[in-house]
Amino acid sequence: MYAIFLFFIFFFTCPANSAGATNAIDATHATDTTNATDIPATEVRAVWLTTNYGLDWPRNRTSHEAQKQELIEILDNLQKFHFNTVMFQVRARGEVLYRSVLEPMSSLIIPAGPGQPPFDPLAFAIEECHKRGMEIHAWMVTYPLGAERHVRSLGQRSITRKEPSLTKRFQGEWFLDPGNPRTDDYLIALVMEVVENYDVDGIHFDYIRYPDNRGRFPDDGMYRLHGKGMARADWRRRNITRFVTKVYDRVKETKPWVQVSSAPLGRYRALNGVGGGWTALETVFQDAGHWMRIGKHDALYPMMYYKDQLFYPFVDDWVAQGNGRIVVPGLGVYQMIELGWPLQDIVNQMDHTREKEVHGQAYFRVDNVLANTKGILKELEKYYRRPAKLPPLKWLSDSIPEKPGDLRAERNGEGLFELAWEGSDERVTYNIYRSETDSLNTDDGDQLIATGLRQTIFHMVVPDNDQAYYYYITTSDSFHNESEPCIPAFFYHSETVK
């Protein structure tokens, strides 16, 4: 039998290859000197990848290949720091980044040249995220359509021209009207284009609310027609909830594992006289806690871009509203630039989410993280020094998948250590563990090597020494329910045959 190398993973260093290739990890220089607290084996580690205005991507306007390479570099770096969820913005204001019959492709995407196949950004992003063991959630701006100049630039392709009765102009910008029930149908059609045609892991709504309280949104006509004596604030909250309910049910009828989530305002409601004036429930009629309680949302990623007394009690309140479902606070990394926050503010917020056993962390936005704003990547190296699994969606399914079989290990012809196993034909992913004993604790994050794998083969580049480990594989289904571990493989980590 060939003995194998020590795998002491610190971060992924080898990018995934082209479609059909297997993952390879280089751990030859990995060390672990951090004193950070024990990391959880299950944790959402999400980031918003903003395409509006090309803030995160695409910044290159020269060719499809250049745009693809730019996105690959972003995803490689997210993989390196063990992120497992990408909120990829596929709809900004009335234009999209996928093939749609309803709205135009974003002007940021280079048009196809003569004889060149069209570029489908969402299809490419899905393929590249899944290669790297990351989920991708299609992030959709819901009601805003953009300012006058932007709407004019879309011409007849704009919904303001095609279906003007669904839209309202308010304070110099255009919006879909939440009070018009036909608006629900239009938005659901957009969502179902994505769900039916793409292998996304989630649909994630942004701006799923009324604009704000600085003026009166022009919905008098719809209120007279549909208000039925309700207070206007209650009617507006009901309008958003009506859409949430309908779209959730449609998604689940088609692909029940596709998560439905949103990013509400960071404060759900005022607490003990603190935080009023800009809340989800009271200001923009976004009753996100109710959506969780009635089972029409799988997760919330509240935009908690505040600190101190405007952060900590409001995190706890969101968890209280969560109905046992996923709550992931959105951390405002960009505030270290815009408001001059010290890095310690973000670190303290990360600590709080771990201490309170919240489901994870999300960061706004990609560039503020990967640009290493005030040294945040050094903190992420400590906090995310191992991969993490995603929380199971027990309210959707609690069935346990079959465990993998026939785990095999050998050094391949390229000198890589290779694990291969028999898997499932279902839509599943795989997790790899290693243990110094024949007793595995799947809740111990330090025993995880890789998560989210979609192939039944895995490569590692690791140092040569004389330690020995047990290796295990588990299966996770599309609802993140995890199987029992397979029968382990025990190997000495040396090139010397034992």
Task: Summarize pLDDT for 278-316 with one digit per residue, the tens.
Answer: 999 999 999 999 999 999 999 999 999 999 999 999 999
User: Domains of the chain (ranges plus CATH)?
Assistant: 1-32+392-498 (2.60.40.10), 44-383 (3.20.20.80)
> How far is residue 444 CA from its own chain's centroid?
23
Which residues, listed in sequence order, are joined to residue 363 by a DSSP beta bridge?
47, 331
Q: What are phi and psi of 229, to 5 degrees?
A: 80, 0
Q: How far, in Å, CA of 16 to CA of 132, rounded?
A: 6
pLDDT, position 140: 98
Q: Quick one: which H or E segment has residue 54?
A: none
Nearest Cα to Cα of residue 82 among 444, 380, 441, 494 = 380
CA distances for 230 relative to 68, 110, 315, angstroms: 50, 48, 31
pLDDT at 132 over 90: yes
In 31-112, alpha helices (H) = 64-80
17 vs 285 pLDDT, higher one: 285
Label residue 257 exposed, middle or buried (CB < 10 Å: 0-12, 13-18, 19+).
Answer: middle
**pLDDT number for residue 38:** 83
Strands 167-170 and 144-147: unpaired
Contact 376, 31 (CB under 8 A): no
| The pLDDT of residue 496 | 53
Q: Burial code of 179-194, b = ≥16 C-beta within 10 A, e = fewer?
A: bbeebbebbbebbbbb
pLDDT in tens, 249-267: 999 999 999 999 999 999 9
What's the whole-model pTM score?
Answer: 0.92
Query: Measured between alpha carbons, how far is 258 from 341 in angstroms, rounded to an integer?
Result: 36
pLDDT band at 170 (very low <50, low <70, confident <90, very high): very high
Mean predicted confidence (pLDDT) in 469-490: 96
- For residue 17, give every residue at least 6 positions away whose Cβ sits within 8 Å of its Cβ, in sequence order, or none: 24
Amino acid at 162: K
Q: Is the pLDDT of residue 217 over 60?
A: yes
Confidence bin at 495 (pLDDT 50/70/90): low
Residue 116 has a pLDDT of 85
The pair of three-digit structure tokens given for residue 311, joined into one six-digit string: 């952060």
φ and ψ at residue 430, rounded to 5 degrees: -130, 150
Beta bridge partners of 347: none
**What's the rounded Cα separation, in Å, for the pair 293 and 268?**
14
Q: What is the pLDDT of residues 402-455, one digit of tens each?
A: 999 999 988 777 878 899 999 999 999 999 999 988 899 999 999 999 999 999
Give residue-wise pLDDT tens across range 341-372.
999 999 999 999 999 999 999 999 999 999 99
**What confidence category does residue 4 fall into, taking pLDDT thresholds of 50, 70 and 90?**
very low
Cα(359)–Cα(419) distance, rounded to whole angstroms? 30
